[in-house]
């Protein structure tokens, strides 16, 4: 099974810098999401549009972030997003965020998403679109 | 026609403070929205739930903000939201935001919302739920 | 050693609701921070103002969130923030977020903050203001 | 006097989409700011770093946004930022935001920033760094 990874690049925004002159720690959640969306554009089939069409969404279930070094004004973040295959009806990603200027690892994280059907019920079976995606890319 | 006004109170959040140690100017947009939502709870009938039921939404068309004095860490904002009656299919509000500690006027603003139907088309007639609301409160 | 806990109440904002009509999962980071700030107002001495005066800040080092049930439009969140005492130069909190209308536990989380001095260096000794606070409240 | 303009490109984020499945109207404030920052990187000398070095900041004084058409999930925004020269100690920009896919004009806006010195006092004289910048680019 090959490793599936995406890399994207985000300019830190003024509005994300807090009064300690560092990127606010909550902004990393958006960066992970930017990473997932970029991943979804490179490996299509599990993006928001696919979910919407199937009526099956994948809300966040578990999110873990470790902060090692700050991102500051004018920094550019390089986001590495790794798909982690786990059996069952779940979607797992690992993230690494680097500061572009000196390649420092600023943050690392993990997320687990579960699937809910169009009635909002948790699904225990793997949705069809996700199965199709797994057969194509794994 | 009586003046319709709501007053609400919001604690400034750490994440809203920017690197100049003032509330970021974009955060005032949320405060105006907090004002409108509080207004809608006091004068029910034009809130988000009513719009959703009718399938008629009121997206923002025009927003104007004037900044006079900063809100800072630990400040509390007092938001005054005034309904401004204008003829036609539009929803107008005026806002004043005060710093609670010394009653300074920090910002003032105006917004215009228009109505779109369930096909996303701009409406030229006043929606029924808004007519009903006007008859009740104006 | 007595348990130290704060409870606060936050109205969910329209701008926090995502396209799945649930509160965006990243907004919970602000709610935990709201919880910490409310805690700091009830048990003064480790708030932002104290940190600024001492020149010693406490950036986030580790954040973990578990999502159980959604918060939606017009919901009110009840945030329970628990101080967790751990030896050493660190600040630990546990959080529980409930939906006010039916008392459902929507999310739970943990955070670890470390201390950095005015040169941005990680501190291994407990800062004076934090020692004073611990003597007062623990 | 030549016209000074910058164009930048921003991918709409999932967290910016509201429950009406459009970009939340408040997110446009960040897009204008992204426009100004991109402008500042192309015409250096009035960026945040210059302000910080001089101890003279330029907080927002007046912001006006007109909304014509929505930006939605997966859209890319093209931001045009125009420097508008006005005499005196003020910084004026005009903005146009287009949807990349079909070149629709989605929003337009204007902003005025004033200058405050290191004591937080409003300046009536044009700051040195801004004079230098004007001599270079106008």
Note the ipTM here: 0.95
Q: Which of D29, D37, D51 to substitute to test the interface with B, most B CBs within 10 Å?
A: D29
Q: What is the mean pLDDT of residues B77-95?
A: 97
> D15 to chain B: which residues are within 8 Å by CB?
none
**Are B113 and B62 within 8 A, CB to CB?**
no
Cα of A3 to nearest chain B Cα, Å: 36
| Closest CB to A59 among C22, C26, C60 | C22
> C63 to chain A: which residues are within 8 Å by CB?
25, 63-65, 67
Q: Where are the alpha helices (DSSP H) in chain A?
A: 27-42, 48-54, 128-137
Cα of D67 to nearest chain B Cα, Å: 5
| Closest CB to A24 among B15, B21, B73 | B15
Tell me if D49 and A11 make a contact (CB, 8 A cut-off). no
* Span A46-105, pLDDT tens digits: 888 788 888 999 999 999 999 999 999 999 999 999 999 999 999 999 999 999 999 999
Considering only CA atoms, which of B27, C60, D23 is closest in space to residue A24? C60
Q: Which CATH number fits domain D4-137: 3.40.1390.30, 3.40.50.1360, 3.30.450.20, 3.10.129.10?
A: 3.10.129.10
Look at residue C82 and tell me whether its pLDDT is greater than 90: yes
The token pair that represents A97 in the structure block: 């965020």
The token pair that represents A61 in the structure block: 């279930």
Q: Is A73 on the interface with D (CB under 8 A)?
A: yes
Chain A residue with minimal CA distance to C57? Answer: A20
CA quadruple A110, A116, A121, A122: dihedral, nearest 10: -40
Cα of D2 to nearest chain A Cα, Å: 27
Q: Which of C16, C19, C25 to substitute to test the interface with A, most A CBs within 10 Å?
A: C25
In this prediction, what percent of chain B has a pLDDT beyond 90? 87
Q: For residue D1, what pLDDT band results from cuts at 50, 70 and 90?
A: low
Look at residue C47 and tell me whether its pLDDT is greater than 90: no
What is the pLDDT at residue A1? Answer: 61
| Closest CB to C15 among D14, D26, D73 | D26
Tell me if A17 and B18 make a contact (CB, 8 A cut-off). yes
Q: Is D55 on the interface with B (CB under 8 A)?
A: no
What is the pLDDT at residue B120? Answer: 87
Q: What is the mean pLDDT of residues C46-73?
A: 92
Cβ atoms within 10 Å of B54's Cβ, excluding its own: 15
| Closest CB to A21 among B14, B15, B19 | B19
Q: What is the mean pLDDT of residues A4-24?
A: 95
- In the block, residue with structure tokens 């800072």: B72
The token pair that represents C114 in the structure block: 């470390």
Cα of C32 to nearest chain A Cα, Å: 10
Q: What is the mean pLDDT of residues D90-115?
A: 98
| Closest CB to D14 among A11, A33, A73 | A33
Chain A residue with minimal CA distance to C30? Answer: A26
Look at residue A40 and tell me whether its pLDDT is greater than 80: yes
The b/e string for B33-45 (b: 16+ C-beta within 10 A; e otherwise) is bbbbbbbbeebee
Return the domain boundaries, chain A: 4-137
Tell me if C18 and D17 make a contact (CB, 8 A cut-off). yes
End-to-end, the C-alpha distance of chain A in Å comes to: 6
Classify B69 as helix, strand or coil: coil
Q: What DSSP letter does each residue of chain C carry, written as one string?
A: ---EEEEEEEEPPGGGB-TTSSB-TTHHHHHHHHHHHHHHHHSTTSSHHHHHHHT-B--EEEEEEEE-S---TT-EEEEEEEEE--SSSEEEEEEEEEETTT--EEEEEEEEEE-B-TTSPBP-SPPHHHHHHHHHH-
**Are B108 and B66 within 8 A, CB to CB?**
yes
Q: What pTM was estimated for this model as a whole? A: 0.95
What is the pLDDT at residue A48? Answer: 81
What is the pLDDT at residue D54? Answer: 87
What is d(CA A59, CA A45) in angstroms, rounded to the nearest whole number?
A: 16
What is d(CA B111, CA D65) in angstroms, rounded to the nearest whole number?
A: 10
Picking from B3-12, B99-108, D48-57, D105-114, which range would have the lowest pLDDT averaged per residue? Answer: D48-57
What is the pLDDT at residue C1? Answer: 61
Mean pLDDT of chain B: 94
Q: For residue B51, what pLDDT band results from cuts at 50, 70 and 90?
A: confident
What is the pLDDT at residue C137? Answer: 93
Query: Which chains touch C (3+ CB pairs under 8 A)?
Result: A, B, D
What is the pLDDT at residue C30? Answer: 97
Q: Where are the alpha helices (DSSP H) in chain D?
A: 27-42, 48-54, 128-137
Question: C-alpha angle C31/C57/A79, rounded to 5°?
Answer: 65
What is d(CA B84, CA B90) in angstroms, rounded to the nearest whole number?
A: 10
Tell me if D15 and C21 make a contact (CB, 8 A cut-off). no
- Cβ-Cβ contacts under 8 Å for B138 (sequence gap 6 or more): B1, B2, B4, B85
Q: For residue B1, what pLDDT band results from cuts at 50, 70 and 90?
A: low
Measured on CA atoms in the order D96, D99, D104, D107, is the torsion positive or negative?
A: negative
Tell me if A25 and C64 make a contact (CB, 8 A cut-off). no
The token pair that represents B59 in the structure block: 């997206």
Question: What are residue A76's DSSP bridge partners?
Answer: A11
Look at residue A126 and tell me whether its pLDDT is greater than 80: yes
Q: Is B61 on the interface with D (CB under 8 A)?
A: yes
């Amino acid at each position: 099974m090959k490793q599936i990874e995406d890399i994207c690049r985000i300019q830190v925004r003024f509005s994300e810098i807090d009064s300690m002159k560092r990127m606010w720690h909550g902004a990393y959640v958006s960066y992970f999401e930017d990473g997932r969306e970029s991943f979804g554009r490179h490996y299509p089939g599990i993006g928001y549009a696919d979910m919407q069409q199937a009526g099956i969404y994948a809300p966040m279930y578990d999110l873990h972030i470790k902060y090692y070094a700050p991102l500051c004004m004018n920094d550019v973040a390089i986001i590495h997003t790794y798909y982690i295959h786990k059996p069952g009806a779940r979607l797992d990603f690992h993230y690494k965020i680097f500061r572009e200027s000196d390649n420092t690892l600023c943050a690392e994280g993990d997320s687990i998403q579960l699937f809910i059907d169009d009635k909002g019920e948790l699904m225990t079976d793997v949705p069809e679109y996700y199965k199709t995606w797994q057969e194509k890319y794994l």
